[in-house]
Chain A
Amino acid sequence: MTLDRAKLADMYYRMWLIRHFESRARWLFQQDLVRGSTHTYTGEEAVAVGACAALNRDDYITSTHRGHGHCLAKGGDPRRMMAELLGKATGYCKGKGGSMHIADLDLGILGANGIVGGGIAIATGAAYSAKVRGTRQVVICFFGDGAANQGVLLEAGNMAALWKLPVIYLCEENQYAEFSPSRPFFAVERLEQRALGLGMEGIPVDGNDVLAVYETVRQAVERARAGQGPSFIVAKTYRWEGHTVGDPLTYRPAGEAEQWKTPERDPIARFGKYLVEQAGFAPAELEEMNQRAEAEIEAAVQFAMDSPEPAIATLWEDVYA
């Protein structure tokens, strides 16, 4: 593992950035300032941050409806994200996409996606494209345990394995599929067994351990760049909050979430402990990063609030290139 101090600090900072972003997104939704529905990534920060830490700037990701974390982990601008949540002209999508459609093609973020599993074939195509264009780019396809039951995973995963495409299917097993526990919806014992049918090895990883995610994904990226084809990783994690903000969570056992929020399991607390005990960080440094991340998100909220609404004339813009 080759992570220098600056990189470790950056990963820790990004995890806090995500946590604070989601906290403010939830609040803005409750204030009726965010419309439609919004899906928080709280508790899953180690997956996005660990995975994206193994990528270069020009590598690609496809994201999901629960996509804020992926976008921030890949380097997305929280100000433009927050402005998009508020539907403002300065948002990533000029106010036309909202929470579920944030994309930054300059950073290789090929879009969050409102369709469960919607990014799977797109990621596979981006990997095909990288191969034809002769670049060394790789693609991480984030999807959830709910999306693992979409048929397109069989179709696209099979083609990726057939043609050794540089794509990493990264299943975030957060244990819930929309408004139901996910476990009753797959017949295999462990989700990674699905990979066998695609001609890949299924690799489980502790999705709340950012360094384990990083190392697992780094090896997959290495294989992909070496022309050895796709990987199928299942990151075991937990969705702290409901499917959407406002979800009454009637389907979740009382007390379950609390067991995932302990210092031993909370991905940020776990990483913080590692940084102090094994990487020579002072607790005060960690606290400073936490506060800096919070301030950056506050500034993003302010930027979004102060930004103008899109002009009505933009309704008809960008339907066609």
Chain B
Amino acid sequence: MAVREISYRDAINEALREEMERDPTVCIFGEDVGRYGGPFQVTRGLYERFGEWRVRDTPISEEGFTGMAVGAAMTGLRPVVEIMYNDFVTLAMDQIINQAAKARYMFGGKARVPMVIRTQGGAGRGNAAQHSQSLEMWFVHIPGLIVIQPSTPYDAKGLLKSAIRNDNPVIFIEHKLLYVTTGPVPEEEYLVPIGVADIKRAGDDVTIVATSRMVHFALQAAGELEKEGIQAEVIDPRTLKPLDIDTILRSVKKTGRLVVVNEGHLTGGFTAEVAARVQREAFDWLDAPIMQVATEDVPIPYNRQLEWEAMPSVADIINAVKSVVYR
């Protein structure tokens, strides 16, 4: 299989282009996604290829166009909505939580809502409190939604293609600092299944579960730890809901130690959810308390030093690992 090195951004663009070629019901709605090519240039070239009805530049009306996608999805289209920053989902929450996520169940299984909401989150770029959050757990909490956070170009492309073909509302959260990162992506078509974790690095001493950009932090930490003779296994769930808990449990039963890393806030966050599941289902295999590495419970500040202090760092992960391997 021929493989090239392409960016996360281009991988997502390829996924959109391929699915739109394959299925004429796939449409994109969002701010600046058409003529401008997307605020992060993810959708560039698609307007020229597919025209205004399939790549729709919308007014700044997040609730309106997200709700339109729900209605379009219920009546035969497969809309892909772009919400520029995940912080702006607040404006569209009724459409996502009360309409998209519930239509199927509350209408007795008759409705299908095959739509994808692409957005991006994360801190580290000085965007401050309203443009840097990691809000994935708001959606993980809601039955009826699927939540995906890809960390690599390969996963981003394969998972977005699966998301577009899926018949449920899917929240697909990219990371603003991953768009320019590159990685191997096959020339040939492939899909990455929803709900399957990926072991990004194998190891026997400790399990690190990390999501989105934190996967790269965890891999850096694992590289440092190796120099001290500690072999970390790094697992990327890729899909937060439904969570592939089996892959995590298998690893924990091998290593006996778990560190969970997520860029959302600590309280009520992803790290707490994973910790609760693992202690319930693998208590007897644990040799140390489960450690959580997450963003401090403060709004994301603007100042560079303050921002970095608020976010998880590679050093935080190393320290957490050392505390559970008692080194």
Residues of chain A touching chain B, judged by Cβ–Cβ distance below 8 Å, are 60, 62, 91-97, 101, 103-106, 110-111, 113-115, 118, 120-133, 151-152, 154-156, 158-159, 162, 317-321
Contacts and interface: CB of A to CB of B under 8 A. Distances in A.
A265 B129 CA distance: 56
B183 interface: no
Contacts of B143: 319
B212 interface: no
Contacts of B53: 131-132
Contacts of A94: 108-109
A92 B94 CA distance: 23
Contact of A126 (B63, B74, B110, B112): B74
A94 B113 CA distance: 18
Interface in B56-104: 58-59, 61, 63-77, 79, 94-95, 98-99, 103-104
Q: Which 5 A-B pairs have the closest CB atoms?
A: A121-B67, A125-B71, A155-B64, A125-B68, A318-B109
Scoring B77, B105, B143 by chain A CB atoms within 10 A of each residue's CB, the highest score goes to: B105
B72 A156 contact: no
Nearest to A167: B71
Given A156-B64, A321-B112, 20 more contacts: A91-B108, A103-B107, A105-B111, A106-B110, A121-B64, A121-B99, A122-B68, A124-B71, A125-B73, A126-B72, A126-B74, A128-B71, A129-B72, A129-B75, A132-B53, A132-B72, A156-B61, A159-B64, A319-B104, A321-B104
Contact of B71 (A123, A162, A319): A123
A122 B73 CA distance: 9
Contacts of A162: 59
Contacts of A133: 25, 75-77
Interface of B: 25, 27, 53-54, 58-59, 61, 63-77, 79, 94-95, 98-99, 103-114, 143-144, 146, 166-168
Max chain B Cβ within 10 angstroms of own Cβ: one of A126, A151, A154: A126
Contacts of A95: 108
Contacts of B94: 115, 118, 152
Contacts of A92: 107-108
Contact of B68 (A97, A121, A317, A319): A121
B25 A96 contact: no
B54 A121 contact: no
A101 B27 contact: no
A125 B168 contact: no
B61 A159 contact: yes
Contacts of A158: 59, 61, 64
Given A124-B67, A133-B25, A318 B95 contact: no
Nearest to B100: A122
B66 A121 contact: yes
B108 A155 contact: no
Nearest to B98: A115
Given A111-B111, A118-B94, A319-B144, A132 B54 contact: yes
A155 B77 contact: no
Contacts, number: 148
B99 A93 contact: no
Contacts of B61: 154-156, 158-159
Contacts of A60: 75
A152 B107 contact: no
Contacts of A124: 64, 67-68, 71
Given A110-B74, A122-B70, A132-B54, A318 B64 contact: no
A126 B70 CA distance: 8
A151 B92 CA distance: 11
A152 B59 contact: no
Nearest to B143: A319
A133 B73 CA distance: 12
Given A105-B74, A121-B95, A158-B61, A128 B68 contact: yes
B194 to A, nearest CB: 10
A122 B67 contact: yes
A113 B143 CA distance: 18
A101 B104 CA distance: 11
Contact of A125 (B67, B166, B167): B67
A152 B63 contact: yes
A165 to B, nearest CB: 9
Contacts of A132: 25, 27, 53-54, 72, 77
Given A121-B71, A125-B72, A317 B64 contact: no
B106 A97 contact: yes
Contacts of B98: 114-115, 118
A118 B99 contact: yes
A306 B310 CA distance: 61
A152 B111 contact: no
Contacts of B108: 91-97, 103, 318
A151 B63 CA distance: 9
Contacts of A97: 106-108
Nearest to B53: A132
A71 B65 CA distance: 26
B107 A317 contact: no
**From A114, A123, A128, residue with most partner B Cβ within 10 Å:** A128
11 contacts: A91-B108, A93-B107, A97-B106, A103-B108, A111-B107, A125-B70, A156-B64, A156-B67, A159-B61, A317-B109, A321-B166
A128 to B, nearest CB: 5
Among the interface residues B25, B72, B98, B112, which one has the most CB atoms of the partner chain A within 10 A?
B72
